[in-house]
Structure 1
Amino acid sequence: MDIKLVPMEDYQQIHRLRDYSFPKKYEGARRADFHYWIEHSTTLGAYDKEKIVGQILVLPLNMMVHGVQYKMGGLGFVATYPEYRGRGVIKMLMKRALKEMRQNGQWISVLAPYSVSFYRYFGWELFFDKLHYTIPIEAFPNFGRQSDNVKRFSFEWMNDEIFGEIRQFHNNHILGCNGGMIRNKAWWQRIERREPESHFIAYYNNENKIAGYLRYEIKDLLFHIKDFYAEGIDAEQAIWRFITSHKASVEKIIGATSVASHFGFQFDQPQFKREITQDVMVRVVDAFEFMKCYPWGEIQQRLFIRLQDPICPWNEHLFQIGSGGHVSIMDEDKVEDQYVLHLSINLFSAMMVGYLSVKDVLPLSGKKIAERTALNWQKALPVSFPAFFEYF
């Protein structure tokens, strides 16, 4: 089996494998969108002679981690033909994908798993608890009546000026959100191709500056919230007033947010259906480079961490984090074990993005450390739960 970057003349093989392996064949705009990402991603194929029998796409994306923007590899469209399963094809593809991400400076990676245990084997870990909500008409929020400055358009009836403001507002907002993904022009085009029936509103504050936006669809008596971003309570309530103004034509509001958002707390009737899913996983690809960019907090004494990562041997070191967040690799026998935090790459990844705390990972690590060491690690790590809403 030969693992290599897929040349242009084999792109149609990627389409065929995707169409065979996933539930619905791509056609029209969706097929065009997929072809764009074949061309612009690190597209890897497993070849049996001239035939592609397995594939992985690593999309070139950008992600915020505690205020730092990282190049991120979005792993998607992982597939093999059934007659080639059980031969280690995906393992070879995953290892090559990780090497390619490292070479491309993508120190972190995100994927949507079809099997959590499968991707845990390769070092990815859960990092976001998503709250899906269904609000029946009797529980629609009521924030009074007033005339709000909102402007509406859709992909079908486009307003380029307002759409430009929304795109800029979105990324400015994400810059301050842990775990969020920056959307470039190509990503917005992807959303348009995949969800062409989307409508938008932009909310403007008293200074006539955009302070929030909503992307939504209305279908089968459902008001489906796709994006909801607001700066401050005034913007949030104004957007909810717009949503509930559709009360005569919809029966339910559905959407998703972060479990950490305390969603619905300010509603008159906050008792409605909620469901939690865990459908994205994260992995640090290169721990040394990732930690060099990391926004460390208070480092009172040197920190030491030993990582276990059998898939990526370049991560299997004893690392020291010193004053100012300076990261270096240490000799294994230089530090007593009680001062070293021992973690798998899975736990390390979830901890560094804020999903797990030091107290969370210690019982899972299997090794005890000095109480003072644990306290120093707690002070050194930023505290902010991640939220990630994109799919690829």
Structure 2
Amino acid sequence: MEIKLIPPKDYMQVHRLRDYCFPNKYIGARRADFQYWIEQSTTLGAYEGDKVVGQLFILPLNMTVHGENYKMGGIGFVATYPEYRQQGIIKKLMQQALKEMRQNGQFISVLAPFSVSFYRYFGWELFFEKLHYSIPHAMFLSFGKQLDVVKRMSFEWPDETLFQAIQRFHNTQALVNNGSMLRDEAWWKRIERRAPESHFAAYLQADKIAGYIRYTIHDGTFMIHDFIAEDILAEQAIWRFITSHAMSVHTIEGITANGHHFGFQFQEPQFKRDVKMDVMIRIVDACAFMQRYPWREIQEPLYVVLEDDFCTWNECVYRINKEGNVSIIEANSIPDKHMLALPINLFSAMMVGYLSVKDALIYAKKEPVKEVVDQWQRAIPNDKPVFYEYF
């Protein structure tokens, strides 16, 4: 079995494999979108002779970690034909993907797992709790009567000036909201291909966007796909716009972060909520990741040793000095009691702010040393990550 980059002559095989292994066959705009990402991604194939029997995409994306922009490898469209399963094909694809991402400078990676335990084995870890909500008409909120400045557009009836402003606002907020993905023109085009019926509403303060939503309306349901506001006043103004549709919709649905105090301001906040943990993250190159990491407060040098079965280049002892500079040192050069020891999956979830240092050690079945925990907790920003994209 040979693992290699899939050349253009075999792209049709990639379409056939995806259509067979996933529940819905792509047609029209979605098929065109899939073709675009075949061409733009690092598209790996498992070959038996000339036949593509397994595949994996590494999408070239960008993600913020505590305000720092990182190149991110988005793992998607992982598949093998059923008659070739249980042969270690996906394992070989994942191993090659990790090497490719490191070489491409994609020091972190995100995926949506079909099985958490499967991808945890390869070093990915859950890092975001997504809350799905459904608000019936009787519980629609009211933030009073106020004349807000709201501009609308849709993909069908675009306003190019407004759309450009929305894109700029989205990325500005992504740098503020830890864990968010920066959307480039290609990603917005993907959204348009996959959800061409989308509408946009932007709330303006002093002629500048302070918040926006992307939404659809279908069979009486107002479905919110994006909801980004820079402050509470913008959030309330957007809710006023949403509930102005009360005569034509009976339900409002959407997603938000489980850590967000969503509904706290509602008069009747006891509506349906479901929490899903459906995205995982992994640090691909620990040294390079930490060199760029926005350390907060380092009073004394930090030490960490990482366990990583699939990225052996990460299995080192690292020293982070007071200036945030990272170096690799000999394991016997410091006492064990001053060292943090973690597997790469838990270290990844900790560094992006999902797990506390103490929790990461507990889940790793390591004894937390208070002095070490306190030092690391002071050094790591404590903003929780939010990640709403899907690929």
TM-score (norm 2): 0.99
What CA distance in whole angstroms lies between the structure 2 residues aligned with 1:366 and 1:336?
20
The answer to whether the Cα contact below 8 Å between 1:61 and 1:74 also exists between their aligned partners in 2 is yes
The answer to whether the Cα contact below 8 Å between 2:156 and 2:196 also exists between their aligned partners in 1 is yes
Residue 229 of structure 1 is matched in structure 2 by: 228
Residue 19 of structure 1 is matched in structure 2 by: 19
What CA distance in whole angstroms lies between the structure 1 residues aligned with 2:373 and 2:177?
26
SS for the counterpart of 1:386 is coil
What CA distance in whole angstroms lies between the structure 1 residues aligned with 2:246 and 2:370?
56
Residue 106 of structure 1 is matched in structure 2 by: 106
Identify unmatched segments of 5+ residues in structure 2. none
Q: CA deviation at 1:214?
A: 1.0
- Give per-residue Cα distances to partners, 1:223-252, cap 9 Å, x unaligned: 000111112222111111111111111111
Residue 379 of structure 1 is matched in structure 2 by: 378
- Could you tell me which amino acid in structure 2 is paired with residue 379 of structure 1? R
The answer to whether the Cα contact below 8 Å between 1:181 and 1:390 also exists between their aligned partners in 2 is yes
What CA distance in whole angstroms lies between the structure 1 residues aligned with 2:381 and 2:250?
41
The answer to whether the Cα contact below 8 Å between 1:125 and 1:349 also exists between their aligned partners in 2 is yes
Residue 132 of structure 2 is matched in structure 1 by: 132
Residue 7 of structure 1 is matched in structure 2 by: 7
What CA distance in whole angstroms lies between the structure 2 residues aligned with 1:13 and 1:343?
40
Residue 247 of structure 2 is matched in structure 1 by: 248
Residue 69 of structure 1 is matched in structure 2 by: 69
- Give per-residue Cα distances to partners, 1:72-128, cap 9 Å, x unaligned: 000000000001000000000000000000000000000000000000000000000
RMSD: 0.8
Residue 94 of structure 1 is matched in structure 2 by: 94
Q: CA deviation at 1:366?
A: 2.6
The answer to whether the Cα contact below 8 Å between 1:132 and 1:276 also exists between their aligned partners in 2 is yes
Aligned length: 391
The answer to whether the Cα contact below 8 Å between 1:283 and 1:346 also exists between their aligned partners in 2 is yes
The reply to whether residue 60 of structure 1 matches residue 60 of structure 2 is yes
SS for the counterpart of 1:372 is helix
What CA distance in whole angstroms lies between the structure 2 residues aligned with 1:383 and 1:286?
22
The reply to whether residue 202 of structure 1 matches residue 219 of structure 2 is no
- Could you tell me which amino acid in structure 2 is paired with residue 11 of structure 1? Y
The reply to whether residue 316 of structure 1 matches residue 311 of structure 2 is no
The answer to whether the Cα contact below 8 Å between 1:340 and 1:369 also exists between their aligned partners in 2 is no
Residue 363 of structure 1 is matched in structure 2 by: 362
Residue 340 of structure 2 is matched in structure 1 by: 341
- Could you tell me which amino acid in structure 2 is paired with residue 51 of structure 1? K
Q: CA deviation at 1:155?
A: 0.5
Q: CA deviation at 1:133?
A: 0.4
Residue 298 of structure 2 is matched in structure 1 by: 299
- Could you tell me which amino acid in structure 1 is paired with residue 25 of structure 2? K
The reply to whether residue 81 of structure 1 matches residue 81 of structure 2 is yes
The answer to whether the Cα contact below 8 Å between 1:57 and 1:75 also exists between their aligned partners in 2 is yes
Compared CA separation, residues 369 and 226, structure 1 to 2 (3 A): closer
Residue 354 of structure 1 is matched in structure 2 by: 353
What CA distance in whole angstroms lies between the structure 2 residues aligned with 1:380 and 1:234?
32
Q: Which moved more, 1:372-381 or 1:358-367?
A: 358-367
Residue 47 of structure 2 is matched in structure 1 by: 47
Q: CA deviation at 1:32?
A: 0.2
Q: CA deviation at 1:304?
A: 0.8
What CA distance in whole angstroms lies between the structure 2 residues aligned with 1:362 and 1:45?
37
Runs of 4+ in structure 1 over 4 Å off: none
The answer to whether the Cα contact below 8 Å between 1:19 and 1:26 also exists between their aligned partners in 2 is yes
SS for the counterpart of 1:324 is coil
The answer to whether the Cα contact below 8 Å between 1:216 and 1:226 also exists between their aligned partners in 2 is yes
Residue 31 of structure 2 is matched in structure 1 by: 31
What CA distance in whole angstroms lies between the structure 2 residues aligned with 1:232 and 1:306?
40
Residue 273 of structure 2 is matched in structure 1 by: 274
What CA distance in whole angstroms lies between the structure 2 residues aligned with 1:200 and 1:377?
42
Residue 283 of structure 1 is matched in structure 2 by: 282
- Give per-residue Cα distances to partners, 1:245-269, cap 9 Å, x unaligned: 1111111100000011100111111
- Give per-residue Cα distances to partners, 1:332-371, cap 9 Å, x unaligned: 1112211111100010000000000011112122333532
TM-score (norm 1): 0.99
What CA distance in whole angstroms lies between the structure 2 residues aligned with 1:67 and 1:377?
19
The answer to whether the Cα contact below 8 Å between 2:132 and 2:254 also exists between their aligned partners in 1 is yes
The answer to whether the Cα contact below 8 Å between 1:338 and 1:368 also exists between their aligned partners in 2 is no
- Could you tell me which amino acid in structure 2 is paired with residue 363 of structure 1? I
Give identity over the alignment, percent.
Answer: 62
